[in-house]
Amino acid sequence: MTHPFFTPELRLMLEEEDADGVRAFCETLHPALVAEALAEDFSVEEVWRVLEHTHIRDQAAIFEYFPISWQVTMVEGGGKPHMARLIEAMSHDDRVALLRRLTPRVADGLLRLVDVADRRDIAELFRYAENTVGSIMTTEYAWVPTGLTIGEAIDRLRHHAPDNETIYYVYVLQESTRRLEGVVSLRDLILSQRLVSINEVMDRDLVTLNVTDDREVAAQAIARYDFLAMPVIDDSNRLVGIVTHDDVIDIVVQEATEDLQRQGAVGPITENYLEAGFLDVWWKRTFWLSMLFIAEMLTFSATAYYEESIERIMILKYFITLCIATGGNSGTQAATLVTRAMALGQISVGHWFRVLRHELLMGIAMGLVLGIIALVRCQLVPTEMLRVEGGEDLTHIQIGWVIGQAVACICLVGTLIGAMLPMVFKKLGVDPALASSPFVATFVDVTGIVLYFSIASVYL
Amino acid sequence: MTHPFFTPELRLMLEEEDADGVRAFCETLHPALVAEALAEDFSVEEVWRVLEHTHIRDQAAIFEYFPISWQVTMVEGGGKPHMARLIEAMSHDDRVALLRRLTPRVADGLLRLVDVADRRDIAELFRYAENTVGSIMTTEYAWVPTGLTIGEAIDRLRHHAPDNETIYYVYVLQESTRRLEGVVSLRDLILSQRLVSINEVMDRDLVTLNVTDDREVAAQAIARYDFLAMPVIDDSNRLVGIVTHDDVIDIVVQEATEDLQRQGAVGPITENYLEAGFLDVWWKRTFWLSMLFIAEMLTFSATAYYEESIERIMILKYFITLCIATGGNSGTQAATLVTRAMALGQISVGHWFRVLRHELLMGIAMGLVLGIIALVRCQLVPTEMLRVEGGEDLTHIQIGWVIGQAVACICLVGTLIGAMLPMVFKKLGVDPALASSPFVATFVDVTGIVLYFSIASVYL
């Protein structure tokens, strides 16, 4: 993939006011590349000067590829009437995403200058809650009424000339009600005879999305069926929009980023790493670390509770960290697997019993191995560490037995908690990805301390 | 999205040997749905009986949607001649993925029965290493020679009738050398006049992939440019294949799963959670937990090293877990952010200094907050815990000062290690996602113990 640096060349053209050069630059290269070159090294004013030289459709195409935070900055730095024209030319889903990010005052001011039809369309999309299919769909789609011939349908398409992303499926609607009757791919249109009726060619067995579905449902469905786009209907089966494949890749990437970050103990930071605001990131990171820190203080209290045992049997304290870490690791592991399987639609809350049984066996099988490793390690402990205050010294076998058993139990319990928590969270309506976060590992940590000392007190 | 249960109906049709019903079932529903219904509840023999009733192209379409492990089972349970026909009908990328998973003996036996042209094509794709663009591309693409008119190009397409996934871009090649000259989208073909030359309409400014590029490069490029497919060329600029959008979604999902799992302390398990083999999963999970467990034993040694301080100043031991967890959490957090930013192409190893500076400031700003929380918490410690063996008791201020400072330093150092390790790993050719795994958290844990006791020994 070629990716040269255009900055110096473009800067020169700007200085020389070479309008043709700038236009050629914007219109020949892929808008994603132009957007990247512009957003990195130019000021808001310079970017506006570059865009002004091109057709409004090209401006919109480039503008859509700017990161959303940069789009917001540009709106604030640009003339409102110009921005209103740009919004009219943007794709319907992208402009709603932008307007959602503006302050209500700025958005209102802008919208007042926008064409009535577009304003109505924006208001329509605005109604849908974030993270629903409605919030990511676009209302630009290719459609024809039922009963046309293939030839008539193609002529209609020629006339409307929809965008690249939205032309590949042509939806067949009942004209009066906009009820969705079928779909024809552009491929089938081209391969069929012009005189055949579209009703004969269209596919009636449609997989559709509902406008209120979660956007992850759209992502899963498109990934599963390999569609380029999916129709979105409302409760009376009317076609209200489509979700396209490119939005789905963005969603998949974004959801994966959020899951990874949540698992890595940081609130979702979807902006570019180096460009995100320092204070914002600082707060998101500090908040999580502080919450974890405060939760982890419970280990202080738990350990202090067993003070007497710790003082008496000196070796116990050296194994605390190890036991705690085992619980945290096995819990995180199980939670990660279950959370991801739920996110990919492989299991649902209804499978909880199968998951529990599976993890019970798995926890026992893993705990055995860890327990044996611990038992072996204990044989290597220096003998002077086996002293007991006011009692007989421990033997290596004794301590090995206790630690091995504790480690195995903690591994099992950590695994079970880790596997069940994501499902409990899901049931309660909380994001299950939180369950694989260190926050829950902390919870398992404290359980680990309690188990450790309980088992120790049985034997010692 | 509708998703009824087809199992009982289909089983009935099989029992009644209702060939027409089975065929209608397979041909009306989306192959993904059919594959799902079949793979869940039927035996290998039953699935083969269902497939036999349909056209070989439909069989291939359904077969491609089976999970790869189920495909392998089916190959082993099916007749070889039949399987050879199926392989001829499968899409070129999917069949290579399947053959890679078979034992060489089975694959060879099968290939000998496959048509010569297909066998050559398979051998061609087999040459490319896994995880390269070559290994995920398909050699089925729509192309026309330079110099045709739009009308001639459309007629050619009608004649060849390529698949849905591969028809949407038509590549324009120099016929003798297969050098890639340009691309026309199906949209532009339809919207242009039949008599215009394709050379006037085609886009010459192509974004291409090289056949040896990493497959993640393909995923990033398609996500960035919103393409339906991208052309893959070899070093002499000849078109050798294309990568399609649906493969990219699969890659994005799979890479995210692997990253999440690695971060969650488990070797990549890409099979379905409930279907993956118990022993295989057990080994992958136990291996990681054991490695972590053994690494975590270093905390035993590190703690034992500071035995004397621990015995003398009794409060120190109660804060060990807290300090260790802080290091682990802040390290994991920074590593997650940096790893994900690298995976999304936002930063590269060359940015290490900017990242270091950024994380230095961030680490200080976060450490201050945690340090203050620790300082406050220390004021609430019961006075009898402040005893020092053979010395003067500590004051609350003293212990607060020590713990606060230790927590702040550990947070800073954890953050820096966490941010730098993914870049070091990348530089060394190791997968940077390993750096956000608990394995590295363990490393930070030990550093935390050392820092904690070093700071304590300065003041106490």
With contact defined as beta carbons under 8 Å apart, do B306 and B449 qualify?
Answer: yes
Residues of chain B with Cβ-Cβ distance to A250 below 8 Å are 223
For the segment B154-163, the average pLDDT, to the nearest whole number, is 81
Q: Token pair for residue A199?
A: 């009703």
Backbone phi and psi for residue B187, each to the nearest 5 degrees, phi listed first: -55, -50
Please check whether residue B271 lies inside any domain of the structure.
no
pLDDT tens digits, B87-124: 888 888 888 888 888 888 888 888 888 888 888 888 88
Domain CATH for B238: 3.10.580.10
Q: Are A146 and A124 contained in the same domain?
A: no
Does the distance separating the beta carbons of A252 and B330 come in below 8 Å? no
Instruction: Identify the domain boundary among B86, B107, B132.
Output: B132
Q: Are A359 and A424 contained in the same domain?
A: yes
Residues of chain B with Cβ-Cβ distance to A228 below 8 Å are 168, 228, 245
Please check whether residue B2 lies inside any domain of the structure.
no
For the segment B314-332, the average pLDDT, to the nearest whole number, is 83
Instruction: Identify the domain boundary among B97, B132, B167.
Output: B132
pLDDT tens digits, B231-267: 999 988 899 999 988 888 888 888 888 877 777 766 6
Query: CB atoms < 10 A from the CB of B152, how many?
Result: 16
User: Which of B132, B205, B312, B337 to substitute to test the interface with A, most A CBs within 10 Å?
Assistant: B337
Q: What is the DSSP letter of B350?
A: G
Residue B437 pLDDT > 60: yes
For the segment B434-440, the average pLDDT, to the nearest whole number, is 66
User: Which of A150, A333, A362, A368 to substitute to test the interface with B, most B CBs within 10 Å?
Assistant: A333
- Count of A–B CB contacts within 8 Å? 336
pLDDT of residue B286: 85
Q: Give the integer Cα–Cα distance in Å for A58 and A39.
A: 16
pLDDT of residue A437: 65
Domain CATH for A319: 1.10.357.20
Q: Is the dihedral angle over the CA atoms A355, A357, A362, A367 positive or is it negative?
A: positive
With contact defined as beta carbons under 8 Å apart, do A278 and A72 qualify?
Answer: no
pLDDT of residue A1: 33
pLDDT of residue B10: 82
Q: Token pair for residue A265?
A: 């103990």
Does the distance separating the beta carbons of B261 and A225 come in below 8 Å? no
Q: Are B227 and B335 contained in the same domain?
A: no
Q: Give the integer Cα–Cα distance in Å for A438 and A419.
A: 14
Of B217, B223, B293, Cβ closest to residue A373: B293
* Structure confidence at residue B164 as a pLDDT band (50, 70, 90): low
Q: Are B332 and B295 contained in the same domain?
A: yes
Domain containing A400 equals 278-459
Helices (H), B215-315: 215-225, 245-263, 278-305, 307-312
Please check whether residue B421 lies inside any domain of the structure.
yes
Backbone phi and psi for residue B179, each to the nearest 5 degrees, phi listed first: -65, 140
Q: Are A84 and A218 contained in the same domain?
A: no
Query: CB atoms < 10 A from the CB of B354, how many?
Result: 12
Number of H helices, E strands in chain A: 22, 6
With contact defined as beta carbons under 8 Å apart, do B112 and B194 qualify?
Answer: no
Residues of chain B with Cβ-Cβ distance to A288 below 8 Å are 329, 333
Please check whether residue B137 lies inside any domain of the structure.
no
Q: Give the integer Cα–Cα distance in Å for A105 and A42.
A: 27
Q: Which residues pair with A231 in a beta bridge?
A: A242
Output B432-436 pairs: Cβ under 8 A, ≥24 positions apart.
B432/B338, B432/B339, B432/B342, B432/B343, B433/B258, B433/B259, B433/B262, B433/B263, B433/B339, B433/B343, B434/B262, B435/B335, B435/B338, B435/B339, B436/A260, B436/A264, B436/B262, B436/B263, B436/B332, B436/B335, B436/B336, B436/B339
Instruction: Identify the domain boundary among A245, A267, A302.
Output: A245
Q: Are A42 and A167 contained in the same domain?
A: no
Please check whether residue B441 lies inside any domain of the structure.
yes
* Coil/strand/helix, residue B313: strand
Q: Element (H or E) spanning B340, and its range? A: helix B316-343
pLDDT tens digits, B184-205: 988 888 888 889 999 999 988 8
Of B414, B408, B403, B385, nearest to B458 (Cα)? B403
E strands, A290-425, in order: none
Query: CB atoms < 10 A from the CB of B121, how many?
Result: 19
Please check whether residue A256 lies inside any domain of the structure.
no
Backbone phi and psi for residue B183, each to the nearest 5 degrees, phi listed first: -140, 145
With contact defined as beta carbons under 8 Å apart, do A201 and A169 qualify?
Answer: no
Residues of chain A with Cβ-Cβ distance to B293 below 8 Å are 322, 325-326, 329, 370, 373-374, 407
pLDDT tens digits, B121-148: 888 888 888 788 988 888 888 899 999 9
Does the distance separating the beta carbons of A256 and B259 come in below 8 Å? yes
- In order of A310, A352, A443, the CA distances from A449 in angstroms are 12, 27, 10
pLDDT of residue A365: 92
Please check whether residue B82 lies inside any domain of the structure.
yes
Does the distance separating the beta carbons of B250 and A445 come in below 8 Å? no
| DSSP letters for B412-454 | HHHHHHHHHHHHHHHHTTS-GGGGGSHHHHHHHHHHHHHHHHH
Residue B209 pLDDT > 90: yes
Could you tell me what percent of chain B has a pLDDT over 90? Answer: 18
Of A248, A361, A442, Cβ closest to residue B249: A248
Q: Are B22 and B63 contained in the same domain?
A: yes
Does the distance separating the beta carbons of A329 and B30 come in below 8 Å? no
- In order of B10, B385, B403, B410, B458, the CA distances from B398 in angstroms are 76, 13, 9, 18, 12
Does the distance separating the beta carbons of B329 and A289 come in below 8 Å? yes
Q: Give the integer Cα–Cα distance in Å for B399 and A113.
A: 63
Does the distance separating the beta carbons of B168 and A285 come in below 8 Å? no
Does the distance separating the beta carbons of B158 and A362 come in below 8 Å? no
Q: Are A358 and A218 contained in the same domain?
A: no
> What residues contact A314, with CB distance under 8 A and at least 6 apart?
A385, A387, A388, A389, B311
Number of structural domains (chain A) is 3
Residue B269 pLDDT > 80: no
* Structure confidence at residue B1 as a pLDDT band (50, 70, 90): very low
Residue B457 pLDDT > 60: yes
pLDDT of residue B275: 73
Domain CATH for B120: 1.25.60.10
Please check whether residue A435 lies inside any domain of the structure.
yes
With contact defined as beta carbons under 8 Å apart, do A274 and B346 qualify?
Answer: yes
Residues of chain B with Cβ-Cβ distance to A299 below 8 Å are 321-322, 325
Q: How far B221 CA lies from chain A's nearest CA (Å)? A: 9
Backbone phi and psi for residue B242, each to the nearest 5 degrees, phi listed first: -135, 155
* Structure confidence at residue B2 as a pLDDT band (50, 70, 90): very low
Does the distance separating the beta carbons of A225 and B341 come in below 8 Å? no
Q: Element (H or E) spanning B353, and its range? A: helix B352-378
Does the distance separating the beta carbons of A269 and B332 come in below 8 Å? no
Q: Are A219 and A321 contained in the same domain?
A: no
Q: Give the integer Cα–Cα distance in Å for B222 and B190.
A: 24
> What residues contact B455, with CB distance under 8 A and at least 6 apart?
B402, B405, B406, B409
**Which of the residues in chain A have pLDDT under 50?**
1-3
Q: Give chain B's end-to-end CA distance (angstroms, integer).
A: 66
Identify the closest residue of chain A to B188 by CA–CA distance: A164
Does the distance separating the beta carbons of A293 and B326 come in below 8 Å? yes
Q: Are A108 and A44 contained in the same domain?
A: yes
Does the distance separating the beta carbons of B281 and A299 come in below 8 Å? no
Q: Are B361 and B436 contained in the same domain?
A: yes
Residues of chain B with Cβ-Cβ distance to A259 below 8 Å are 256, 260
pLDDT of residue B5: 60
Output A182-189 pairs: Cβ under 8 A, ≥24 positions apart.
A182/A146, A182/A206, A183/A231, A184/A153, A185/B164, A186/B168, A186/B186, A186/B187, A186/B190, A187/B164, A187/B167, A187/B168, A187/B186, A189/A150, A189/A153, A189/A154, A189/A157, A189/B190
Q: Are B124 and B232 contained in the same domain?
A: no
> What residues contact A431, with CB distance under 8 A and at least 6 apart?
A262, A425
pLDDT of residue B165: 66
